Amino acid sequence: MLVEEKTTNAALHEVDQKYYLPTFKRLPLAFERGEGAKVWDVEGNEYLDALAGIAVCNLGHCHPRVVKAIQEQAAKLIHISNFFVSEPQVQLSKKLVERSGLDRVFFSNSGAESVEGAIKIARKYAHSKGRGGSIISMTKSFHGRTLATIATGKEKMQKGFGPMPSGFHRLPFNDIQAVREAVNDDIAAIIVEPVQGEGGINVAKPCYLRALRELCDQEDIVLIFDEIQCGVGRTGELFAKDHYEVQPDIMTLAKGLGSGLPVGAILSNEKVSRAIEFGDHGTTFGGNPMACAAGLATLEAIEEEDILRKTGRKGFWLKELLSDRLEAHPKLRQIRGLGLMIGVEFDFPTKPLMLEMMKRGVLANATAENVLRLVPPLVISYEELEQLADVIAASVEALEARGEA
């Protein structure tokens, strides 16, 4: 009788390299189970997850309420197309509109799709007012990897994919004067992340976002907030905009909205929504009953489990822990962020730090060359936060001892 070999991280990694398009620099781990802020690989090794699927699993892995909602919906109805309505979609639409203070919603499958849709709505509105269709985005921004969304971002991500779509201009983040000088009748919209994620956890200044709102009101320009990473409770408010008390014309969501199921959303006010006519936009899978059931369960759990208040406190506490553990380190530049969206900036590249942490059973992410990005599940315990801070400090010491920091 043949005995099946035990599945290993290395074996799965080898098969993946053979068949998958080589677009990810994957780490040689294969996970098979998750619960709360912990995941286990196929060899049974346990990891504390401070990445959460890149700020997706905000309620942790396999939150019981979300799992139950998905299981029940999958047994009833998974997909029907948007020629019809479903109860989960109607309920999620209502809840998002009520909680955001915006007026309309459109569901997509991802963050990039949400941004693409937001650009279409903004351009349609601008053209209805006799304006051009150009979009202002910010340096160090990240809005996705489709052609239009990479046109808003880093030149590094555009290399080899030209010609780029026209009508996109990048300006320095947090620099309102640069925006004022760039505004003209050709500008349809300004898109900004209240907290930049991929760019290194850069937090917008309150005066900057308020000034953008005033400028957009004066010039009748559409203001888009990309809350794909910083939304759905990540910063300690349901939406990061609520820290600033600034209301955009359009807001994009994804990542944490479905707790791991692919669902994105575009929320817009009535002013810009009126520009959209039948057939102007569409989606096959966006807003299907199962994705919306997951989204609805996610928002209900955030409300009923007091996640927002707890996230604010945990984020403050984690920053204090990190300051205490790392304050004497000469190469620490800054600890910044809102809620549990935290960046620790060093004077050295942080990928080796991330790898050292992984060896010690903690998952995180290196971004913007020298920033350690921490976006753990919002349900992470205080004991696990202490473990996270201890492993970061020990990993920095290990790098120093090897001359890598």
Residue of 49, 226, 242, 249 marked catalytic: 226
Distance CA 133, CA 122 (A): 8
| Strands of 341-346's sheet in order across | 332-338, 341-346, 371-374, 365-367
Across the strands, what pairs with 187? 134
Complete edge-to-edge strand list for the sheet that includes strand 187-192? 104-108, 264-268, 250-253, 222-226, 187-192, 134-138, 168-171
Using CB atoms within 10 Å of the CB of residue 3, give its burial: 0 to 12 exposed, 13 to 18 middle, 19+ buried. Answer: exposed
User: How many other CB atoms sit within 10 Å of the CB of residue 279?
Assistant: 6
Please count the residues of the chain.
405
- The answer to whether residue 255 is catalytic is yes
Q: H-helix or E-strand containing 212? A: helix 206-219
Quick check: is 241 catalytic? Answer: no
Cα separation, 227 vs 209, in Å, equals 14
Pick the closest to residue 327 from 349, 343, 344, 313 (CA basis). Answer: 344
Catalytic one among 124, 140, 255, 314?
255
For the chain, the straight-line distance linking the first and the last C-alpha, in angstroms and rounded, comes to 53
- What's the rounded Cα separation, in Å, for the pair 289 and 145? 26
Which candidate in 106, 107, 142, 225 is catalytic? 142
Our answer to whether residue 107 is catalytic in this structure is no
Report the alpha-carbon angle 126-130-131, nearest 5: 50
Q: In whole angstroms, how far apart are CA 316 and each of 78, 142, 201?
A: 40, 25, 15
Secondary structure class of 134 (helix, strand, coil):
strand
Residues known to be catalytic: 142, 226, 255
